[in-house]
Structure 1
Amino acid sequence: MKKRRSIIILVTLLVMATFIFSGCNSENQNFTFSRDIDNNGYWRGVKALNYVELGNYMGMTIPKDRHTVTDEDILSNIDSLLAEHKVKNNITDRAVAYGDTLNIDYIGRVDGIAFEGGSTGGTGTEVTIGVTNYIDDFLEQLVGHIPGETFDIEVTFPEDYGKDELNGKDAVFTITINHIVESVLPELTDDFINATFSETNGWTNIDQMKADLYVQIQNVKISEYIQEYLEANSTVKEIPQVILDFQDNAVIKYYQDYADYYQITLDEFLQQYVNVENQEALLEQYKEDNAKVAKTHLIMQAVAEDANIKATADDVAEYFANYMETSDYTEYENIYGLNYLKLTALVQMVIDHIQSSAILE
Structure 2
Amino acid sequence: MATKLEKLENSRVKLTVDIDADVLEQAMQEAYRRNVKRINIPGFRKGKAPRKIIELNYGPDVFLQDAVEILLPRLYEEAVEETQIRPVDQPDADLTEVERGKGATFTFTVDVYPELTLGNYKDLEVEREIVTITDADVENVLKQQQERSAQLVVSERTTVQEGDFCVIDFIGYVDGKPFSGGAGENQVLEIGSGRFIPGFEEQLIGFEVGQTSDINVTFPETYHAEELAGKDAVFSVTVKELKEKVVPELDDEFAKDISEFDTMEELRATIRKNLEDEATRRTNAAMENKLLERIAEDSEVEVPQSMVRHEAEHLYEMFIYNLAGQGIGEEMYLEMTGQSKEQLLENFLPQAETRIIHDLILEAIREKEGIEVSDEEIDDKITEYMEEYGDGDLDPATQERMREHYEKNRTGIANSLAREKTMKVIVDSARITEVEAAQDSEQSEVEEAEESAE
TM-score (norm 1): 0.55
* 1:177 aligns to 2:239 (yes or no): yes
* C-alpha distance in 2 between matches for 1:194 and 1:353: 43
Q: 1:217 to 1:297 in 2, by over 3 A?
A: farther
Q: 1:68 to 1:347 in 2, by over 3 A?
A: farther
Structure 1 residue corresponding to 2:253, chosen from 175, 185, 191:
191
Q: 1:125 to 1:76 in 2, by over 3 A?
A: closer
Q: What residue ranges of structure 1 are gaps of 5+ in the alignment?
A: 1-43, 331-336
Structure 1 residue corresponding to 2:271, chosen from 174, 191, 213:
213
Q: Which piece of structure 1 moves more, 343-352 or 143-152?
A: 343-352
Question: Taking every aligned residue pair, what percent have the same amino acid on both sides?
Answer: 23
* C-alpha distance in 1 between matches for 2:413 and 2:130: 24
**Which residue of 1 is the match for residue 100 of structure 2?**
none
**Which residue of 2 is the match for residue 118 of structure 1?**
182
Is the contact made by 2:316 and 2:345 (CA closer than 8 Å) also made in structure 1?
A: yes
* C-alpha distance in 1 between matches for 2:394 and 2:356: 28
* C-alpha distance in 2 between matches for 1:349 and 1:51: 20
Equivalent residue letter for 1:217: L
- Post-superposition offset of 1:77: 3.2
**Which residue of 2 is the match for residue 245 of structure 1?**
313
Is the contact made by 2:167 and 2:187 (CA closer than 8 Å) also made in structure 1?
A: yes
Equivalent residue letter for 1:227: A
**Which residue of 1 is the match for residue 214 of structure 2?**
152
* 1:222 aligns to 2:284 (yes or no): no
Q: 1:116 to 1:145 in 2, by over 3 A?
A: same
* C-alpha distance in 1 between matches for 2:316 and 2:284: 26
Q: What residue ranges of structure 2 are gaps of 5+ in the alignment?
A: 1-87, 90-111, 399-404, 429-433, 435-454
Deviations 1:13-45 (A, max 9, x none): xxxxxxxxxxxxxxxxxxxxxxxxxxxxxxx99
- Post-superposition offset of 1:145: 0.6
Q: Mapping of 1:58-207 within 5 angstroms?
A: 66=130, 69-91=133-155, 93-98=157-162, 100-110=164-174, 112-120=176-184, 122-129=185-192, 131-158=193-220, 161=223, 163=225, 165-198=227-260, 203-207=261-265
CA RMSD of aligned residues (A): 5.4
Q: 1:112 to 1:244 in 2, by over 3 A?
A: same
Equivalent residue letter for 2:171: I
Q: Which piece of structure 1 moves more, 145-154 or 346-355?
A: 346-355
- Post-superposition offset of 1:113: 4.3
Higher strand share: 2
Q: Which has the higher contact order (CA 8 A, sep 6+)?
A: 1
Aligned residue pairs, count = 287
- Post-superposition offset of 1:353: 11
Deviations 1:39-96 (A, max 9, x none): xxxxx99999969879579xxx998x83765544434433333333233333251422
TM-score (norm 2): 0.46
Q: 1:51 to 1:230 in 2, by over 3 A?
A: farther
Is the contact made by 1:303 and 1:350 (CA closer than 8 Å) also made in structure 2?
A: no
